[in-house]
Structure 1
Amino acid sequence: SPSLTGLANIANFGHGTPTNFSVPAVMELLNYRWLSGTTTPFADINKLPHAAVCQLSPGSSIHTLVRYGILPEARAGVTDESLQVHADRVHQLLLANIRASVRPGDRVAVLLSGGVDSSILLGICCDLNLNVVAITPQHEGHHNPELETAKTFAAELGIEHRIIAVEEADVARHYADVVELLGVPPRCHSAVSLLILLRQLKGSFDKILYGEGADTLFGSKAVKHFALRFKKNQRLKKVFRYIPYWPWLFKVLPLPYKLRHLLQFDALNEAIAVNQIVLQEPLKASLNDRLVLDKELIKAGLNVSNVTVDTYERALLQLKQIIFSSSVINHFYELESLAADNSIQLISPFVCQPVMAYAASLSDTSYFGIESVKPVLRKIGERYFTPSLMYLPKYGFPVPHSNWLKGPLATWGREATVFFSCPIEYLADEEFAWCIIGLYLLAKRNHILPLRLFEIDGGVDAPPG
């Protein structure tokens, strides 16, 4: 369970005596988006496989019955068909999924970001004549580059579009509430905005549709970049194979940085790096001094223990699986928890087995596209919207967490550096600051003692106790 008890030493927990965070558990949390490996901070207690149903028997090893969140492998022998054929089939699968997920009379909200995925869901809801409203947040003092596009999507369908203001004055209170509801610092920066939205939607809607997962399944820029690097690495190795003593020459010759970096490309390392929080080098070095994580254990903890990287296809599948098992499932966990707390059911139409299985059969051309990723989904969008609208540059779901860290969350950030004996300069690293503030709030709420994470020379007073 990703809860406070998974981060704290529970020897005295619940007995009125303050306790401490486990240093290894905190370091894992600060290093990775999802706790990795198979061990826990507790003696003789190991973690079950990620997203699995297991049978437990005394004295026997764990037997895994079903494993969820596993991306299907590509089906052998599938011939690539026209983009229109793929679009028609995926469209029918999404229609069937949403029809089965929404009952007659349900009041439905679609989180409309202004991107491809959410706009398609809105169009399908119109096809099904659902009682649907589009919802988009507008953050105070922050320009949302997709807002006007979202307005155009809703207008072309003639759907009511509610733009909900996210006031900066509400951010700190809702961040603290997210931390309390989840039991850990939120990994998704959008969790705070979404909680504000959900609280305003409570009582007015039964279901909320969310387009998460579509990028990984139908066309991710990160996967496309990985694929290009993988192929270039393979071609370079073929060329270097004919150069005598090339491994030795590689070490001694002053090769250009890009070439050297490309030759050192390793599929497993690159895939795991996607899941690792991008930290500034001094901070990353400090964390790694305290905790070294086993890549094989990380891989096993991310639902990819049976995937090897011996071929191009398997390397791509592994990368997709790591993205899916970390950021996507993490996002589902957070948003579903927040939605349930507000009596709203989360529906994610892209993440169902028939849709996932079909996405696995797409060729590189149908996945990466020529100019734009997600060509199949864009083709579906042409059913509902002006074609040019579907091919505008997309900027995602921007959340001004950088502004929040400098504004409403700044005081907690400074207090956290004292509590964890941390150089205040590390707050410049946004991922670190976002996480350490959440840990600090958990500690305050649960009477956990200050914890010295870093050895520092002046600049920050050591915490009491």
Structure 2
Amino acid sequence: MCGHVSIYYKNKNHNNLNIESLAEKINHRGPNYTGFFKDENIELAFKRLSIIDISGGSQPFKKDGKTMVFNGEIYNYKELKEELINKGYEFSTESDTEVLLTTYLELGEECVHILRGMFAFLIYDEKTKEVFGARDHFGIKPLYYTENDDFIAIASEYKAIVDLLDNIEVNMKSLQSYLSFQYVLPNETMIKEIKQVPSGHSFTIKNGVLKFEPYHSVELLPKREITTKDVRDIMEDSIEHHLMANVDVGTFLSGGVDSSIVATIASQRIPNIKSFSVGFGVEGYDELEVAKKTADKLGIENIQIKVSQEEYIRALPEVFYHLDDPVADPSEVGIYFLSKEAAKHVTVVLSGEGADELFGGYNIYKEYNSVKNIANMPGPVKSIIKTVSNIMPDMKGKSYLYRATTELEDRYIGNAKIFENIEVQKIVKNYNENYEYQKILEPIYKEARNKKYDYVATMQHVDMNTWLKGDILQKADKMSMAASIELRVPFLDIDVLRVAENLRLDQKISKDNTKVLLREAFNDVVPEHVVQKKKLGFPTPTRVWLKDKLGNVVRQTISEAKVDDLINKAYALKLLDDHINDVHDNSRKIWTIFSFCLWHMIFIENKKVTF
């Protein structure tokens, strides 16, 4: 796990942007080693966190006239290396870095099709002066870029290249959609001049022209029968590959089934593995007792921390600095503290992200079983029922009728919907109808229709292309790297995906539960109290704390941020007052606005914020 910065100069007279100082902005991603490479039209900087082949594999890595910087892990590197040796290639290190570069030497741009791992890499050809790179299938590892007439800059975090911009302008499309989604959508950032390299894409730079090419697609269509053995075998294989390291490995452990599956299999391979759990000491927002019970059943150590409201508040400026873009998910602060604690004991941690998207784990997916009778009615009948629901007072059943009679693409935007369009219009200045969430998601829904996805597969498709990339993986990478540890996600493995793609609807959800086949596959090894436990998520008591000291911090931040030309502060503060006075639970809405204001103070106003 590492970080890198690259600058490709289109104008050879403009070739001194002090890449050394830019690289220091991401020192936390790789504090063990710093390396540089310079040629007439490119500079590469690398920060290494040593995981595999501690003594070798430092970067930028050179071989046969090619130079590479690479962030991530290639989990099938041993298999690839054996094949390459059989083809006559020689190796000077034991690193996956050299295997990746050698695979490129053998296959060229087609190398991405046989990689199993998480990665964001860039390869420079010293002879042709051309660049090839790629980002992994799911977007586990981040990669940002900015481009002007003089250069193209690429970095693992955009804080490393933001200083290269002559002007910094808030991306209004990102801001408006962020208020509904609670995160910036993939491929964009909150800064207009900086973009993300799309996941599942490779890219080239030839003669100063940056071009992207997709190499990966998901097909959530059953084409073969999947059994519990298939699921069990592939997860055991994936976790075993994800445990490969020359440093100590641990595992995050919540009260849920996903992290328990990972911890169970990992503990079978590493009996003395350490597990880590976080809580907040607030009733209803703590699963430490369940995590401890799971660890005791597995016979592994469980290291627990409790984060107080005061600690939570003090950490917020550093958390949002490390995130780059604002992510209004309060759980990220818990992950930040969990990573800090884990870093005292291990260098690598395994976590359960991705299981819900692949195996059908979100509770909202179960709504299909309750709405299908009405949803499958003829259009005119649904229209009448919808009209009736619209004139009903707020009462039990109104929401159900709305969901049953409204097409998914008109209402479902993924796991978190914060503000409806009509509310966004009240908050954001210069509202643009083209940025409404239905229009933003139109290409994603069109793809789902073209592939003839069913109801739940369509929801998964939306979540994989929005929530997973924009929220789940952003906070996982940035919070773990803030603590200089590597977080690995064995559910988000290309071989696991190929199994999960073939699940039938009834293998994902039932009337009573989610992840049906995944739970069945591990019901004899995962502790019984976890297997059928319903998903709780990562509960964080911001709803409670906003009525206490946290509310004062939020009020001060919204009031002081220089965002008056962007958002309606009076509306935002009214939401806070109504929450404090128990008029409405506005906690998620307030947190979304606050998160943007704090981000603006840090990245746009360049203000040193402390709480």
TM bucket, shorter chain: 0.7 to 0.9
SS of corresponding position for 1:187 = coil
SS of corresponding position for 2:588 = helix
Residue equivalent to 2:308: 167
- TM-score, normalised via structure 2 length: 0.60
Distance 2:358 2:304 in 1: 28
Residue equivalent to 2:140: none
Residues 92-103 of structure 1: pairs in structure 2 closer than 5 A = 92-103=233-244
Residue equivalent to 1:299: 441
- TM-score, normalised via structure 1 length: 0.77
Distance 2:237 2:384 in 1: 58
Distance 2:242 2:385 in 1: 60
The amino acid that maps onto 1:308 is A
Residue equivalent to 2:524: 383
SS of corresponding position for 1:148 = helix
Structure 1 residues 173 and 112, CA gap change in structure 2 (3 angstroms): same
What per-residue deviation string (whole Å, max 9, x for no partner) do you get for residues 380-401 of structure 1?
3323245355224442321112
Distance 2:303 2:291 in 1: 11
Following superposition, the deviation at residue 72 of structure 1 comes to 2.9
Following superposition, the deviation at residue 285 of structure 1 comes to 4.3
Distance 1:399 1:166 in 2: 10
Distance 1:130 1:104 in 2: 16
Distance 2:270 2:539 in 1: 30
Are 1:426 and 2:575 counterparts?
yes
Determine which of 459, 470, 474 is the counterpart of 1:333. Answer: 474
When you count helix as a share of all residues, which structure comes out higher?
1
Residue equivalent to 1:136: 277
What per-residue deviation string (whole Å, max 9, x for no partner) do you get for residues 298-321 of structure 1?
2378xx376132686355333212
Structure 1 residues 253 and 133, CA gap change in structure 2 (3 angstroms): closer
Following superposition, the deviation at residue 360 of structure 1 comes to 1.8
Distance 2:552 2:391 in 1: 47
Are 1:436 and 2:573 counterparts?
no
SS of corresponding position for 2:376 = helix
Are 1:54 and 2:203 counterparts?
yes
What per-residue deviation string (whole Å, max 9, x for no partner) do you get for residues 21-53 of structure 1?
455543332233343598888889987655533
Residues 353-368 of structure 1: pairs in structure 2 closer than 5 A = 353-368=494-509
SS of corresponding position for 2:466 = helix
Contact 1:382–1:390, Cα closer than 8 Å, also in 2: yes
Distance 1:403 1:11 in 2: 42
SS of corresponding position for 2:260 = helix
SS of corresponding position for 1:368 = coil
Moved more, 389-398 or 212-221: 389-398
When you count strand as a share of all residues, which structure comes out higher?
2
Residue equivalent to 2:426: 286
Following superposition, the deviation at residue 139 of structure 1 comes to 0.8
Determine which of 438, 448, 451 is the counterpart of 2:605. Answer: 448
Residue equivalent to 1:318: 458
Structure 1 residues 154 and 426, CA gap change in structure 2 (3 angstroms): same
Structure 1 residues 232 and 396, CA gap change in structure 2 (3 angstroms): same
Structure 1 residues 355 and 286, CA gap change in structure 2 (3 angstroms): same
Distance 1:416 1:31 in 2: 20
Residue equivalent to 2:228: 87
Distance 1:45 1:114 in 2: 38
SS of corresponding position for 2:546 = helix
Contact 1:279–1:431, Cα closer than 8 Å, also in 2: no
SS of corresponding position for 2:508 = helix
Determine which of 213, 218, 222 is the counterpart of 1:75. Answer: 222
RMSD of aligned Cα (Å): 3.9
Residue equivalent to 1:182: 323
Residue equivalent to 1:35: 184
Moved more, 202-211 or 259-268: 259-268
Contact 1:233–1:265, Cα closer than 8 Å, also in 2: no
Distance 1:297 1:56 in 2: 31
Following superposition, the deviation at residue 149 of structure 1 comes to 2.1
Contact 1:307–1:318, Cα closer than 8 Å, also in 2: no
What per-residue deviation string (whole Å, max 9, x for no partner) do you get for residues 150-191 of structure 1?
222111111111111212221122111111111222332211
Residue equivalent to 1:211: 352
What per-residue deviation string (whole Å, max 9, x for no partner) do you get for residues 250-285 of structure 1?
86999865686357421322333x366323787444
Residue equivalent to 2:215: 66
The amino acid that maps onto 1:298 is I
Distance 2:296 2:194 in 1: 54
Contact 1:308–1:315, Cα closer than 8 Å, also in 2: no
Are 1:200 and 2:341 counterparts?
yes
Higher relative contact order, chain-length normalized (CA < 8 Å, sep 6+): 1
Moved more, 387-396 or 198-207: 387-396
Contact 1:178–1:195, Cα closer than 8 Å, also in 2: yes
What per-residue deviation string (whole Å, max 9, x for no partner) do you get for residues 346-398 of structure 1?
11111111211211211122111353222222223323245355224442321
Following superposition, the deviation at residue 93 of structure 1 comes to 0.9
Structure 1 residues 23 and 209, CA gap change in structure 2 (3 angstroms): same
The amino acid that maps onto 2:218 is L
Contact 1:108–1:130, Cα closer than 8 Å, also in 2: no
The amino acid that maps onto 1:279 is F
Contact 1:36–1:297, Cα closer than 8 Å, also in 2: no
SS of corresponding position for 1:135 = strand
% same residue? 18
Following superposition, the deviation at residue 441 of structure 1 comes to 2.8
Contact 2:239–2:490, Cα closer than 8 Å, also in 1: yes
Structure 1 residues 33 and 93, CA gap change in structure 2 (3 angstroms): same
Moved more, 332-341 or 247-256: 247-256
Distance 1:402 1:412 in 2: 14
Residue equivalent to 1:453: none
